[in-house]
Each structure stands twice: as C-alpha cells, then as structure tokens.
Chains A and B, each alone.
Chain A
C-alpha cells in the first residue's frame, strides 16, 4: 500500500515536472518568435525608408548613379528574401546595410543636402531604424540563446526531445559586412 502511494506520488511529481518544462519551452519559443517578428518590423521599415532617401539624395547628387543602383538592388534582394531563414537574411541585410552606409557617405559631400530638413529627418529615421534593427537582433539572439540552452540542458532536454522542439537559429550579420555597416556620421 505504501509503495503504491510512493509510486503515485512520483508519477504526480513527474507529470507536474513535464507540464512545467513543456510550458517553459513553449514560452521561450514564443519569445523567440516574437523577437523575430520585431526584427521583421524594423527591416520592413528600412525597406520603406530607402526609396525616399534615394529620391532625396538624387535631387542633390545626380552623379552618384552607381551608388543609387547598388542601394536599390540590395534593398530589392533583401526584400525578396524576407521569407528566408535567419542565416540567409543576415547576409542580404548585411549587404543592404553596407550599401546604405555608402549612400550616406556620398551625402556627406553635398553641404546643401545636409542642410535639407527632409534629408535630416530621413537621416534620423534611418539612424534610429538601424539601431532598432541591431537592438531587435540583439534581443532575438539573447532569446534564441536562452531557448537553445533550455533545449540542450538537462533535464528540460528530455522534454524537448519528447516533443521535438527544434533549436533556434541565430541572426548573424556577416562580420566583414557588419564592420562597414552604416556609421551615420553627423560631422
């Protein structure tokens, strides 16, 4: 009789543990999804800003056709890949960031452009959007790290295996590109 109670107790504890661990994993997975959606919002915002920015700069710097084309192409490529995985997107977004950096560097050479209120407002929006992209990426990667730790560490890894939770994918922008990412300069 006592043995039965002990077994029953263990079973109940086990069930509670499984429920807790499962819910925890789902919570972390949702956090990762939510963080990914945040990045998406900011990337879209960047796609929307670029045509305006290109138009404004074009009005003052007509001879920089090459740069405009590069930015537009990088933007379109990145936008087309918006349903791809984190790794693929990271590469394309990195290239877009680099192209944007070049565009803003071009703008530096045109003092009248830098006095244009519309351009300055766009520049602030772009600076902020770049920051928001990197902050949402940072939060996403932190969430993925926590989620993956949960999946791989004992004892929650048992539950993760039972319900086949998949590891999250980090959003990395290729290092060489990242170094050249737009450093919006106000000098």
Chain B
C-alpha cells in the first residue's frame, strides 16, 4: 500500500519536513513574543494544527464536495462515466470503486478526494463530461484515480493543513505585533530581565518578525512545488493505467483551450483538480506560484512517450521535453514493470453517455444528455408530448397537466 507513496517520495517528504519546520519556527517565535516562552507558542501551533488536521481528516472530503456543489451519481445515471471509473479502478488495482460525483458547471475540470483509497470520490464537471470522448474521459479519470492510488489526497491534505496553520498564526501574530505594537512592546520589555541580553534579544525578535512575514509565502511555494510533482506522477500513472497517453493528452488540450474558471474551487483545494482552476491565460512555464505544471508541457511530455506507457517512458519523455534534466519519477517507482506497449484508440464520439450515437448528432446529443442528467439529479420529471417534444417538470410542480407550447396540447401528468 505504501509502495506508491514511498516511491518518488524522498523529495516530497523533504519538502513536507520543511513546511513542518516552518510551522514549528512560527510557533517558537510566537511563544517568544507573547508568552516569553517558546514552549507555549509551540503548544499553540500544535493545537491549532491538530484541530485542523482532525477536521480535514474526517470531514475534508465531504466539505470539499459540498463546497463544490457536487452531486453523487449511480451506475444508471451516467453509465459511461460510471463504467470508465470502474475500468480505471480495475486498471489501478484500487480495492473499491470511488464514489462518482458530477458538478453542474460549464468549466472544464475534475478532482479526486478522500483520505484513503477505500473511502475516495472522484468528481467531474458537467462541462467536461460533455466535451470528452471515451478515451479522453479514461485519461482524466485515470489521472484522478492515480491521485487516490498514490495517496496524493492525504499528502496534499497534510501539507495544506500545515500551510493553513502557518498562514493563520502568522497573520494574527503580525497583525497584533504591528497594530498592537506600542502597548505590547512596553509590557514585554518590562517583563524581561533587563541587561546584557537585550541586543541579542532584539535581533531574535527582528528575525522572528521577518520569519512571520515570510513563512506563509515560503510555505505556499513549497506547497506548490509538492503539488506540481504529484501532478506529473498522476499523469504518468494515468498513461500507465490506460496504456494510452494520447487520451489524457488530448483531454488536457481540450481543457486547456477553455479559460472558464470553476466557480466553486478555492486555493487550498486546487491541487486536487486535474488542472489549476485559477489558471489565467498566458501563464508562464514552470511558474513557481502554480499548483500545476503548464498544460502545454504536460501534453508535450505525454505525446513524447513514443509508443510506451510505463514510468520509464514518461521519464524519458520528460527528459526529452526538458532537454536532459533529471528524471521526474524515481527509480524505485520505475522498476518492477518492464516494457509497456500502447493500445489503439477506441472509436467514440464526445459527450455520449452510452446512449446517443452517430458522429454528427453526437455533439448536440451529448449536450442534451448531460443537461438531462443534471435535471434528473435535481429530481425533475420528464413527459413526452405526442408532438415529440420532451418536457422537464420541476420537482415542486403542483398542477396535474402542462400546456405543450410547441403544439398546444395539454399533457396530463
């Protein structure tokens, strides 16, 4: 179980330790300022951290899904989506099919959540579901399942909580120090035993203040760095599961072509999405302040995999794109599975949930089906008029008949 999270982890663990160090340092200086004892500050930092961790661990996924306004679906609501999730569950060797959610939003995005693989969920926006064909959907779901399988959700939750704690503590501490500085400093200096140590103490205090201001920024950069690394690993895993890197590549291209932002996303949850929900147009390559590597680069790596689908192929492709830099996925992860071939494309049109068919009709049909699905999830009823029109009746509708505006008939419900 820890195989995946352990592999490729030396740097991730190092970065997490760095954030933990920052958290402790903030707590230490907080203690020095307000309680004259470093221990008190450390205790406060740890308590805040522990509470936030517990909330994130037990409620994180439901909070996230509620915030994203995600609706849970079953196998009959969207057969194709559900089937693809099952397929990827099998390919990844996950022990349980994750819950599947749809977010009614035209933005193109998807995310995974859940503290461990047996209690996980994947969510996808209705906009994305409409746009993708089966292979592309497989690539996207493969990427999300990889986040679950690689324990990224847990990893990013741990990091996000530490980041959050640092931000909260430093924010309050700097506010109090700057605005309450006059009153506070008098009390503080009087309570100290005066004398020779004053100079050294002043230096410590200044260092502490600088740290308080810089810590949130540093923690955030580290957080972004971890997130970007995990994105590469999830892309590589998706290619390995599907044996078809082109699926994810072309899905990413479609997603990259749209700049619509997801309304319900927020900064802390950004790493769980397939692309950065806050991305702006023309974002610079390898931007330090991004949770995700640039889409164009991810597509290029996937396309450069040259007939293979293993981690080794991904590494080689990464090196090709970055002209000879070091590998992105560690040796322990690439070993074990040998040469892995790529399968052929399946032929399917975008948007069909296993019901619509025919290429020409499929785009409109896909749109129709997804919107019908969303209405069904909202408990709308449908009635067919004799003239061929289909009416969707909202759940609160009281009358026992409706007027068909197309042909003028009254339809009984």
Binding site for B on A (CB under 8 A): 31, 35, 38, 42, 114-115, 117, 120-121, 123-125, 127-128, 131-132, 134-136, 138-139, 142-143, 145-146, 149, 183-187
Contacts and interface: CB of A to CB of B under 8 A. Distances in A.
B347 A146 contact: no
A124 B355 contact: yes
Contacts of A125: 79, 83, 354
Contact of A186 (B93, B243, B343, B349): B349
25 contacts: A115-B357, A117-B355, A120-B354, A124-B83, A124-B354, A125-B83, A127-B83, A128-B79, A128-B80, A128-B84, A128-B86, A131-B83, A131-B346, A132-B87, A132-B90, A135-B88, A135-B241, A138-B91, A145-B337, A146-B337, A184-B347, A184-B348, A186-B362, A187-B347, A187-B359
B349 A131 contact: no
Contacts of B91: 135-136, 138-139
Contacts of A114: 357-358
Interface of B: 79-80, 83-84, 86-88, 90-93, 134, 241, 243, 336-338, 343-344, 346-349, 352, 354-359, 362
A183 B347 contact: yes
| 6 closest residue pairs by CB, A with B | A124-B354, A128-B83, A135-B91, A135-B90, A131-B87, A185-B347
Contacts, number: 80
- The secondary-structure label for the interface of chain A is helix
Contact of B243 (A124, A138, A149): A138
A2 to B, nearest CB: 37
Given A35-B93, A135-B90, 11 more contacts: A120-B354, A120-B356, A120-B357, A121-B354, A125-B83, A131-B346, A134-B343, A142-B337, A145-B336, A184-B346, A184-B347
A83 B21 CA distance: 57
A183 B83 CA distance: 17
B127 to A, nearest CB: 21
B355 A120 contact: yes
Nearest to B134: A127
Nearest to A133: B90
A186 B135 CA distance: 13
